[in-house]
Every structure is written in C-alpha cells, then in structure tokens.
Amino acid sequence: MRGLLIYDEAGYRRNKWFAERIIESASAGGVQIDLVIYDGECSFDTDVDFAIVRTIAPSLNERLECHGIPTFNNSRTSFVANNKWNTYLFAKELGLSVMNTVKPEKYTDGEKIFGYPFVVKSIDGHGGGEVFLVDNRQKCKELFSNFDINRFIAQELSSEPGVDMRVYMLGGKVLTASRRSSKTDFRSNFSLGGNAEIVAVPEDVKAVAESICRALGCDLVGIDFIRHNGEWILNEIEDVVGTRMLYSLTDLDAAELYVKYIINKLNA
C-alpha cells in the first residue's frame, strides 16, 4: 500500500516532526507514504491508494477524489470546516446550537444586530488568527477599512469569552478532549498561550460531535465548543487539526493512531 502526505511549505515547516512521525508509523506497518509539498499548482502521482491532506485546499481533496484516491479528511469536510460561514450554515442545517452569526455587508451591520462588543472573524482564519473583538464603531470602521468585508463574519460574543473545549474525533469516536482558557484574551487558543487541561466530554457535547462526524464522514478532526449561558455551543470544526496539545497533555501518539485507523479503513 502506498499513499501521499500533503502539506503546504509553511505547514510542513511548523509540523515537520508530526509529518515525519506519520511516515515512520506507516513504514512500521508496511505502508509507504511519500511527502508532497503543495504549492497550489503541483501535479501529483495518481498511482497511490490514499492521500492524507494536511493543507487547507478543498479543491485539491476534490481533485484527488476524482482520480479515485480516498482523502483523509474528505473534500466535504475540507469545504465545510475550512470556511467559518460554511460551518455556520452546516450547523444550522443539522439543527445544532451555534452563536448568532451574520455575513456583514457594511461595517455597521454587527452593531445593529448584536450591539457592542461582538466578534469579527475571517472566514478562512485558523489558530485564532484574524479574530477580533470589536467594542466600538470606530474600531469596527478601522477594521473593515483594512480588510475586505466579504472575507469576514460577525458573531455574537459568548457569555464566557476565553473558555472553550476542543474534542478530538478519530473515525467518528471521541479520542480525547481539552478545556482551554485564557485570562488575558477572549481567544483561548493553545497556540496563543492559553492554558489547557484534559477533560471528560459531556454526553450532550459527545452527541453533537458524533452527529457532525456522521454528516461529514470525517476522519481526524477537532471540534471546538464555546461556553454560552451555561451550555457548550459549537464554534468551529478543525480539518487540519493540530496535535501539539495531544502530545503535550496525553500519552496518545496521534500520528500512529491516525495511520492505523487509515490502514484499517482501507482494508475493511
């Protein structure tokens, strides 16, 4: 069996150790994995059995699938999870609880709908990047004078900013979960210095996470929930989910588990 492991250059530099661990784990199981650095234009070998796509490029997943190559995660997961507006629409379609969200047409839309403060996010940002807390009209006006408003969504601020839970899902089942918090930022991302601890997953959160995985057919994802009015509310789905927290806080070898899962799925 032979597969591809696809990264963009920046992603590979940040995650070189994890990429090498995937290749090493596959080799131990008798599977060859070739690393591909994707630049948006590269061609790829179609004489492979699967592709692990660790870059954000839904069209690439789709191209591979058109060649009959199973992708991990699949193109539907990539399309929904890597666009926050798509995630919101998907959640509403499933009947899941999400924060009030709009796609603003002018900078005053968030003010009219939510009042201040509210959150502005780029639809394709990751790791807490391009996420802003807007607490007055001047700040909102300045923000959208620097960015294309069409790339952003506006969202109601949760009642407990700076707190969230990431649930790691593998093959539709809970792998583990971490509760993240920050005392200095409304964003709780581990990569931004937030604190994290492993926690048990409440049954209602587990049910939502499982329903998302069933609907998307995803393989390895992180599903993020935020705290609002005493409940955990779906926030985002991470397709190319980071594993730093797993290796920092648990004895789980995410690369080995992912490779074994892929091999078992392909051999089923």
- Looking at residue 18, which CATH number applies to its domain? 3.40.50.20
Give the residue-averaged pLDDT of 80-106: 96
- Cis peptide before 229, with omega less than 30 degrees from 0? no
| 187 lies in the same domain as 232 | yes
Contact 120/153 with Cβ under 8 angstroms? yes
Q: Supply the pLDDT for residue 84.
A: 96
- State which of 156, 186, 203 marks the end of a domain: 156
Mean pLDDT, residues 52-78? 96
- Statement: residue 86 has pLDDT above 60: yes
The tens digit of pLDDT for each residue in 212-261 reads 999 999 999 999 999 999 999 999 999 999 999 999 999 999 999 999 99
| Rounded mean pLDDT, 167-183 | 93
Residues 68, 12 share a domain: yes
Tokens coding 263: 């091999």
Please give the pLDDT value at position 128: 72
Name the pLDDT band for 43 (thresholds 50, 70, 90). confident
Domain range for residue 203?
A: 80-96+160-251
Whether residue 245 sits in one domain with residue 167: yes
Nearest to 77, CA basis, from 93, 88, 61: 61
Do 87 and 169 belong to one domain?
A: yes
Does residue 261 share a domain with residue 242? no
Q: What are phi and psi of 216, to 5 degrees?
A: -95, -20
Q: How buried is 264 (Cβ within 10 angstroms: 0-12 exposed, 13-18 middle, 19+ buried)?
A: exposed
Q: Are 103 and 64 in contact (CB under 8 A)?
A: no
Structure tokens at 66: 């058109």
**For the chain, what is the domain count?**
3
3-class secondary-structure state, position 139: helix
| Placement of tokens 């790339």 in the chain | 151
Strand arrangement of the beta sheet that strand 50-53 belongs to: 32-37, 2-7, 50-53, 71-72
Answer yes or no: do 236 and 191 share one domain: yes
Of 151-160, 174-183, 224-233, least confident by mean pLDDT is 174-183
In this structure, the answer to whether residues 85 and 137 fall within a common structural domain is: no
Check whether residue 173 and residue 246 sit in a common domain.
yes
Q: How many other CB atoms are there within 10 angstroms of residue 191's CB atom? A: 14
Among candidate residues 140, 156, 172, the one where a domain is terminated: 156
Gap between the terminal Cα atoms of the chain: 14
State residue 187's pLDDT score: 46
Bridge partners, residue 163, by sequence: 181
Q: What is the pLDDT of residues 98-154, one digit of tens each?
A: 999 999 999 899 999 999 999 999 999 887 778 999 999 999 999 889 889 999 999
Q: Grade residue 192 by pLDDT with cuts at 50, 70 and 90.
A: very low
pLDDT single digits (tens) 127-139: 777 899 999 999 9
CATH number at residue 110: 3.30.1490.20
Q: Are residues 30 and 57 in the same domain?
A: yes
Q: Give the CATH number for residue 221.
A: 3.30.470.20
Are 125 and 62 in a shared domain? no
Q: What is the distance between the alpha carbons of residues 226 and 230, in angstroms, rounded to a whole number?
A: 10
> Same structural domain for residues 60 and 145?
no
Predicted pLDDT of residue 183? 64
- 57 pLDDT higher than 70: yes
pTM: 0.92
Question: In this structure, are 10 and 47 located in the same domain?
Answer: yes
